[in-house]
């Protein structure tokens, strides 16, 4: 459905996106993740045809991303979705349905159905009097008035309470189950991990990893083992293992001499965090030598966040873009000093949801 080739955006001399390549299949939930300033919004706006790429192409189905006709098949949710404060949710959604020439009855059925699924109450309340979460739900409903095949959501759950966040994430899954393709950005990696089929991780305009979360984990992350013993184990007794690595992987002490408070592992247990099975065995023999035993062993998969912190912390020449190509160093990452819109067709706070 989406094909991105060498997509690049510079604002003045500042490279906001440094040449991205990826594809998104029909019905996929595709995550674009990374910290503030990574280039997520710029990428999404280029896909939505709201920002003109400096180089490269993005095609959506048969259309170029800049094609006006493409927008009829697209629902775009901007990061900030200012709504017309004096309108009610119902009148606002009707207004957008009219922009897309959706017949009245169909528009009413569609928006009421979406608002039911999002459990939005008080549909005749002024938008200006709604909570942030309610406004976000209305903005999501707006992205669906034209029944698009592709949804591009910029930080859909950002700043929402955990309950509303859950609704939004579940709703996103629900959309994909109904055959929609969803591209969404997030800096909360947990949101992405729980919902996306595939992701690209961006940092300073570059893609630094890509794939399904298990693929990224297999390629960039290491499993650690938490071994619970009835006696403390001396770090020097953990032989045949790279204890230093274990510390890195788990961001924890390799051998914890204080009793563990994790009651489910039993009273008075001590935790050793190690990187491989040889080390697990050496913890076992050390514990037995000290008159104790191993009572539990748990594996810990690194989260996307662990992997991201590891990758982003490495110098660029030691990374690749997930396709075996080295990631280029960027001159001046994250400095927000440039002005001018640099070809941003959208402006920053327009309330048109891509309906032009
Ligand atoms: N119109 C613009 N003019 C100049 N610089 C811009 C413009 N838009 C974005 N940038 C810069 O490009 C970089 C990437 O911005 P972008 O909004 O794409 O990041 P992001 O990953 O979406 O960040 P956030 O999570 O904070 O929204 C930032 O350094 C930003 O300051």
pLDDT of residue 49: 93
Between the CA of 227 and the centroid of ligand 1 the distance, in Å, is 44
pLDDT of res. 266:
53
Residues with CB under 6 A from ligand 1: 11, 14, 16, 34, 36-42, 79, 187, 334, 336, 338, 341-342, 344
Cα(63) to centroid(ligand 1), Å: 25
pLDDT over threshold 90, residue 252 = no
Asked whether the beta carbons of 226 and 300 are under 8 A apart, the reply is: yes
Model confidence over 101-116: pLDDT tens digits? 999 999 999 989 989 9
Q: What is the pLDDT of residue 260?
A: 54
Question: Beta strands of 34-144 (E only): which ranges?
Answer: 55-60, 63-64, 74-77
> Ligand 1 center to residue 40 CA distance, Å?
8
- CATH of residue 230: 3.10.20
Domain shared by 189 and 62, yes or no: yes
Can you give the pLDDT at residue 270? 86
Mean pLDDT of 219-237: 82
Mean pLDDT of 54-72: 91
Helix (H) or strand (E) holding 207: strand 206-211
Instruction: Let me know whether 51 and 196 are in one domain.
Output: yes
| 228 has a pLDDT exceeding 80 | yes
Q: Which residues are CB-contacts of 332 (< 8 A; sequence separation ≥ 6)? A: 14
Taking alpha carbons only, the member of 98, 305, 287 closest to residue 216 is 305
Containing domain of residue 7, as a range? 2-219
**Residue where one domain finishes, among candidates 312, 330, 349:** 312
Look up the pTM and report it. Answer: 0.74
Same domain, 135 and 34: yes
CA dist., res. 301 & res. 306, Å (int)? 9
Q: Are 287 and 294 in contact (CB under 8 A)?
A: yes
Three-state secondary structure of 316-341: HHHCECCCCCECCCCCCCCCCCCCCC
pLDDT tens, position by position, 161-205: 888 888 888 889 999 999 999 999 988 777 888 889 999 999 999
The predicted pLDDT at position 314 comes to 60
In this structure, the residue with its CA closest to atom 6 of ligand 1 is 11
**What number does the ligand 1 atom closest to the CA of 333 have?**
29
**Across all residues in the chain, what is the average pLDDT?**
80
129 and 270 together in one domain = no
pLDDT over threshold 70, residue 321 = no
CATH number of the domain within which 75 lies: 3.40.50.300
Instruction: Work out which ligand 1 atom sits closest to the CA atom of 39.
Output: 18
CA of 39 to the centre of ligand 1 (A): 6
pLDDT computed for residue 311 by the predictor: 80
Q: What is the per-residue pLDDT across 118-127, written as a single tens digit (0 to 9) for each?
A: 888 899 999 9
**Distance in angstroms (rounded) separating the CA atoms of residues 132 and 159:** 8
Same domain for 183 and 278, yes or no, is no
Q: How many domains does the chain have?
A: 2
């Amino acid at each position: 459905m989406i094909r991105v080739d060498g997509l690049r955006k510079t604002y003045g001399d500042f490279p906001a996106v440094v040449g991205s390549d990826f594809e998104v299949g029909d019905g996929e939930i595709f995550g674009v993740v990374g910290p503030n300033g990574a280039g997520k919004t710029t990428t999404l706006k280029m896909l939505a045809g709201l920002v003109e790429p400096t180089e490269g192409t993005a095609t959506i189905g048969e259309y170029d991303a800049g094609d006006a006709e493409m927008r009829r098949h697209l629902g775009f949710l901007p990061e900030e979705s200012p709504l017309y404060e004096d309108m009610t949710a119902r009148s606002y959604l009707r207004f957008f349905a009219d922009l897309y020439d959706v017949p009245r009855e169909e528009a009413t059925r569609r928006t009421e159905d979406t608002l039911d699924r999002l459990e939005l109450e008080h549909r005749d309340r002024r938008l200006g009097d709604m909570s942030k979460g309610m406004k976000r739900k209305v903005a999501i409903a707006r992205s669906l008035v034209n029944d698009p095949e592709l949804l591009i959501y910029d930080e859909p759950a950002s700043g929402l309470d955990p309950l509303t966040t859950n609704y939004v994430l579940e709703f996103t899954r629900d959309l994909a189950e109904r055959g929609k393709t969803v591209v969404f950005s997030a800096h909360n990696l947990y949101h992405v991990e729980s919902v996306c089929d595939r992701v690209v991780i961006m940092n300073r305009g570059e893609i630094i990893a890509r794939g399904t979360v298990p693929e990224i984990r297999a390629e960039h992350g290491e499993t650690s083992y938490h071994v619970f013993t009835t006696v403390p184990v001396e770090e020097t007794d953990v032989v045949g293992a790279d204890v230093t690595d274990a510390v890195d992987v788990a961001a924890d002490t390799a051998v914890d001499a204080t009793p563990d408070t994790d009651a489910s592992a039993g009273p008075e247990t001590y935790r050793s965090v190690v990187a491989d099975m040889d080390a697990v065995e050496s913890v076992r023999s050390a514990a037995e030598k000290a008159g104790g035993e191993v009572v539990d062993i748990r594996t810990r998969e690194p989260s996307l966040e662990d992997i991201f912190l590891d990758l982003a912390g490495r110098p660029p020449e030691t990374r690749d873009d997930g396709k075996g190509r080295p990631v280029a160093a960027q001159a001046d990452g994250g400095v927000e000093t440039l002005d001018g819109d640099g070809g941003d067709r959208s402006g920053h706070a327009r309330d048109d949801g891509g309906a032009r």
